[in-house]
Each structure stands twice: as structure tokens, then as C-alpha cells.
């Protein structure tokens, strides 16, 4: 998919371009439980011009695709190679960054609590949820889903394929869940706008949260739109 159109289903748009989740949340468009509607239907009662909305979404989507161009065209590669790449780069990066952020967020919450108690507690809580969900998600992919795919590729059967795709349903809903939390974090941090009192550690927290988000969108795109479409 090179372009997002108004007649596409919300859930499909987020699967191909996970960054759309943030924009949908900004406009209170429920792409999760009500993800079976088209973008046009979802925009019906919103105070926004349909074409302007889809154009600005496509502008972001193009930037996202271009930023990935320096990567290998994974659609042409063996899915086994893509899985190895996902685990070695994105999973490793996510585990490491979550661990680093965990310490940093605890530190700034304790040190700066009196500056903005509510904001800091919300960030602390949302990050805690994201960390728990993502760690479990990655462990499930590495121990359940990816071995199932390897096994299927070595010895294909309809039964194995059905099992894989029912598991993928769970995995994709977890991707949407992580996208929800990231959008909440974006909103609660005012788009990662630094407060006046931000110290070096606090600046590092915002920078690392944004790096985590950016990598996660690429990571989810590779799974939903390339790996799961090529097995």
C-alpha cells in the first residue's frame, strides 16, 4: 500500500502505518473496537475536512516510507531472515530502551515530583503499562509465534497456517494496544514539549521515549505489513 484512501478500513490503515494511531487518537477516532469502519465513515461526525485529513495522513505516511528506504526491501527476502532481523535489532533495542527508561523515569519522578505531580505520575503509570505489555509481547513472539512460523515454513500444512493466523490476531491487537499507550504518552507530554524545569535526565527521558516510539512503528510495520503478509 503506497497511499491511504478514505475508503480503507481503520484497522488496516493502522496495521500498515502504525503512526496513524496517534492522529486517530488526536481526533478521538476509535480504530480499535470500532476499527472495522472506513476512514470516511469515522470522519463523518468530526469537525474536519475529509480530504485535508487524508492528505495530511498521507504526508506523514510518505515520510515514514521514505525514512525506511535505506533498509533492505524485506518483502523480497526470506521471512526467516526478516524474523532474525526483527529479533536482533528491534526486539533488542526495545528491551534495552525499556530498561533504561524504567530507571530514568523513576529517577525524574522522584526528583521532580513537586514540579508537576500529576503529569509525572501519569507518565510513570503509562510507561509502566507499556513496558509490561511490550516485554510480554516480545517474549510471546520469540517463544511462540516465531517458532510456529519457522516450523510452518519447514513443513507446511493448512492446520499450522490456521494456528499461526489465529495467533497473529492476538499479536496485532497487542500492537494496537501499544499504539494506544504511545498516543496517550504523546498527549500527556504535550507532544514531548519540555517543561521549563526539565533537567538533563528529563530531556533524556523524552528523547528516549520518542526513539522508542519511532522504532516501534517501524517494527510493527515490518511485522504486520511484511512478515505476516509473506507467510
Beta strand segments in 31-81, E: none
CB of 213 vs Fe ion, minimal distance in Å:
14
CB of 140 vs Fe ion, minimal distance in Å:
9
CB of 116 vs Fe ion, minimal distance in Å:
32
User: For residues 95 and 152, which CB has a smaller minimum distance to Fe ion in the complex?
Assistant: 95
User: For residues 141 and 213, which CB has a smaller minimum distance to Fe ion in the complex?
Assistant: 141
User: For residues 12 and 223, which CB has a smaller minimum distance to Fe ion in the complex?
Assistant: 223
CA distances, 49 to each of 2, 13, 22, 141 (Å): 22, 18, 18, 39
Map 131-175 to HEC letters: HHHHHHHHHHHHHHHHHHHHHHHHCCCHHHHHHHHHHHHHHHHHH
CB of 146 vs Fe ion, minimal distance in Å:
8
Residues near Fe ion, by CB under 5 A: 141, 223
What distance in Å separates the CA atoms of residue 179 and residue 14, rounded to the nearest whole number? 9
User: For residues 184 and 223, which CB has a smaller minimum distance to Fe ion in the complex?
Assistant: 223
CB of 225 vs Fe ion, minimal distance in Å:
12
Determine the straight-line distance between the first and last CA of the chain, rounded to whole angstroms: 18
Residue with cell 475529509: 50
User: For residues 9 and 218, which CB has a smaller minimum distance to Fe ion in the complex?
Assistant: 218
Amino acid at each position: 500500500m503506497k497511499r491511504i484512501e478514505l475508503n480503507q478500513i481503520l484497522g488496516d490503515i493502522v496495521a500498515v502505518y502504525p503512526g496513524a494511531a496517534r492522529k486517530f487518537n488526536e481526533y478521538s477516532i476509535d480504530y480499535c473496537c470500532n476499527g472495522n469502519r472506513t476512514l470516511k465513515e469515522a470522519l463523518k461526525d468530526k469537525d474536519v475536512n475529509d480530504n485535508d485529513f487524508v492528505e495530511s495522513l498521507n504526508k506523514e505516511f510518505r515520510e515514514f516510507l521514505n525514512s525506511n528506504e535505506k533498509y533492505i526491501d524485506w518483502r523480497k527476502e526470506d521471512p526467516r531472515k526478516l524474523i532474525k532481523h526483527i529479533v536482533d535489532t528491534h526486539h533488542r533495542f526495545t528491551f534495552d530502551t525499556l530498561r533504561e527508561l524504567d530507571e530514568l523515569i523513576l529517577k525524574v519522578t522522584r526528583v521532580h515530583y513537586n514540579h508537576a505531580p500529576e503529569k509525572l505520575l501519569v507518565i510513570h503509570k503509562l510507561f509502566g503499562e507499556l513496558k509490561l505489555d511490550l516485554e510480554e509481547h516480545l517474549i510471546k513472539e520469540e517463544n511462540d509465534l516465531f517458532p510456529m512460523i519457522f516450523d510452518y515454513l519447514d513443513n507446511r500444512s493448512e492446520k499450522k497456517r490456521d494456528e499461526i493466523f489465529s495467533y497473529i490476531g492476538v499479536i496485532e491487537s497487542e500492537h494496537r494496544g501499544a499504539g494506544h499507550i504511545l498516543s496517550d504518552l504523546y498527549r500527556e507530554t504535550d507532544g514531548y514539549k519540555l517543561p521549563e524545569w526539565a533537567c538533563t535526565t528529563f530531556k533524556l527521558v523524552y528523547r528516549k521515549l520518542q526513539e522508542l516510539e519511532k522504532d516501534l512503528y517501524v517494527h510493527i510495520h515490518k511485522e504486520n505489513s511484511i512478515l505476516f503478509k509473506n507467510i
